[in-house]
Amino acid sequence: MSRYLSALLLMLVACSAYAQYEMAEGPPAETVSMVWVVVFGVIFVGMIVGFLAYMWWNERKKKDD
């Protein structure tokens, strides 16, 4: 088990060093407009609200039976 944890730690160190090297070139350029970020946010929150409403509806139906 400790062998796997040490390998994981070594991998995390290597990945963080690689990320630091990549960030030295500067931040990545913006690739999408803000409109699409807002559309994604609306759809994401809408799906969460829809799921909660569905769960509430099913629980309400179960109590009636």
- The tens digit of pLDDT for each residue in 15-52 reads 888 777 666 676 667 788 899 999 999 999 999 999 99
For the chain, how many residues are written? 65
The pTM assigned to this predicted structure is: 0.52
| CA 13 to chain CA centroid, nearest Å | 22
**CA distances (Å), origin 43, targets 11, 24, 56:** 35, 34, 20
Average pLDDT over residues 52-58: 95
Q: Which two tokens stand for residue 36?
A: 């699409």
